[in-house]
C-alpha cells in the first residue's frame, strides 16, 4: 500500500508533468480537461457527495489524490480573480485569521493558567496544541458564489471527496512546549507565531490590499483544494489540546 509520504511525493513529481502545456492553453480547453478529470473521479466514487464509498476511497486513495491535485492545479490556473472573488477572499481570509488568533489566545490562556498553579508530583512540563480544519457536513458546509459556475466544477462532490481523504490534516497546526518555570511573557511570545507578512504570493491571485494569512494560502496549496473551493468553505473546526508530561527513570538505589 502506498503511504502518505509516497503519495505526496507522487503529487509533487507528477502533477505538473501530467498537466504540462496546460498553463498557456485557453480557458475553454482547461475547463474541458477539468471536466474530464472530474469524470474520472466520479467513475471511482459515484455522484452522491453524501454517500461516498469509503472502501473505494481507501483502495484508490493514491489515484484519487493525484486526480484531485490535477483538478486543483487546473482550477488555480483558470482563476479569474473577479471583484466578487476578491470580496469573498477578504471575507474567508478574515474568518480564518480570526479563528487562528482565537486558537492562539486559548493556547496562551491554558499555558498561563497551568504555570500559575502548583503542579503535582506527576507533572514535569506540558504541551499545548492547536489545530484548524475544514469539516464537510453537507450543503450547509459550503457557501457558494455566483461566479464559481463559470469554471464548471462539481464543487460539492469534489470538496466532499477531498475532505474525506484529507480532512484529518489541519490547515493550521500550532504547538507550544512549556515548562512550569516559564514566565507569562515567554509563553505569550511563543504564542505569537504570526510572521506578519502576506502570503498572497503563494495563492493564484494577486489580492492587492489583502493580508493573506499563511493558513489561507496552505488551504489552496497543500490539501487538494483549489482557490475556488476555499472561497466556498464555510464549516471550520478549531481545537486546542493539552498534554501533561512526566519524565522518569528506574530507581537505581
pLDDT digits (tens, 9 = 90+) for 175-212: 666 655 555 555 555 544 455 678 888 888 889 888 88
Report the alpha-carbon distance of residue 58 to residue 240 in Å, rounded. 29
Report the alpha-carbon distance of residue 96 to residue 104 in Å, rounded. 12
* pLDDT at residue 225, rounded to an integer: 93
* pLDDT at residue 34, rounded to an integer: 94
Cβ-Cβ contacts under 8 Å for 169 (sequence gap 6 or more)? 133, 223
- A 10 A CB-CB count for 225 gives 27
Express as a percent the part of the chain with pLDDT over 70.
Answer: 74
Beta strands across the sheet bearing 236-245: 172-179, 125-134, 236-245
Report the alpha-carbon distance of residue 24 to residue 30 in Å, rounded. 9
Give the long-range contacts of residues 187-195, CB within 8 A, separation 24 or more. Answer: 187/108, 187/111, 187/112, 187/115, 188/108, 188/112, 191/104, 191/105, 191/107, 191/108, 191/111, 192/104, 193/104, 194/100
Chain segment 87-129, per-residue pLDDT in tens = 999 999 999 888 888 888 888 788 777 777 666 655 667 778 8
Least confident range of 37-41, 203-207, 228-232, 248-252: 248-252
Predicted confidence (pLDDT) at residue 79 exceeds the cutoff of 70: yes
* pLDDT at residue 232, rounded to an integer: 96
User: 193, 174 in Cβ contact below 8 A?
Assistant: yes
Tell me the Ramachandran region of residue 238: left when phi exceeds 0, alpha when psi lies from -120 to 50, beta otherwise.
beta
**pTM for the full predicted model:** 0.81
Least confident range of 76-80, 154-158, 199-203: 199-203
User: 203, 217 in Cβ contact below 8 A?
Assistant: yes
Place of cell 466578487: 84
* pLDDT at residue 130, rounded to an integer: 84
Under the banding of pLDDT at 50, 70 and 90, the label for residue 85 is very high
Amino acid at each position: 500500500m502506498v503511504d502518505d509520504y509516497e503519495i505526496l511525493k507522487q503529487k509533487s513529481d507528477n502533477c505538473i508533468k501530467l498537466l504540462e502545456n496546460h498553463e498557456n492553453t485557453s480557458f475553454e480547453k482547461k475547463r474541458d480537461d477539468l471536466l474530464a478529470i472530474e469524470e474520472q473521479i466520479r467513475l471511482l466514487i459515484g455522484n452522491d457527495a453524501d454517500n461516498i464509498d469509503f472502501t473505494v476511497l481507501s483502495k484508490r486513495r493514491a489515484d484519487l489524490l493525484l486526480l484531485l491535485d490535477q483538478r486543483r492545479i487546473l482550477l488555480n490556473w483558470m482563476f479569474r480573480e473577479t471583484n466578487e472573488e476578491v470580496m469573498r477572499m477578504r471575507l474567508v481570509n478574515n474568518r480564518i485569521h480570526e479563528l487562528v488568533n482565537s486558537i492562539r489566545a486559548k493556547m496562551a490562556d491554558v499555558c498561563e493558567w497551568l504555570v500559575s498553579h502548583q503542579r503535582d508530583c506527576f507533572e514535569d512540563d506540558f504541551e499545548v496544541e492547536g489545530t484548524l480544519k475544514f469539516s464537510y457536513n453537507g450543503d450547509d458546509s459550503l457557501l457558494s458564489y455566483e461566479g464559481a459556475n463559470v469554471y464548471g466544477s462539481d464543487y460539492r462532490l469534489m470538496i466532499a471527496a477531498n475532505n474525506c481523504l484529507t480532512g484529518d490534516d489541519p490547515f493550521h497546526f500550532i504547538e507550544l512546549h512549556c515548562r512550569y518555570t516559564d514566565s507569562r511573557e515567554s509563553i505569550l511570545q511563543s504564542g505569537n507565531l504570526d510572521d506578519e507578512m502576506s502570503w498572497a504570493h503563494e495563492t493564484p491571485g494577486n489580492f492587492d490590499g489583502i493580508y493573506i494569512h499563511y493558513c489561507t494560502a496552505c488551504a489552496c496549496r497543500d490539501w487538494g483544494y483549489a482557490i475556488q473551493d476555499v472561497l466556498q468553505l464555510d464549516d471550520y473546526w478549531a481545537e486546542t489540546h493539552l498534554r501533561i508530561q512526566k519524565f522518569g527513570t528506574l530507581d537505581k538505589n
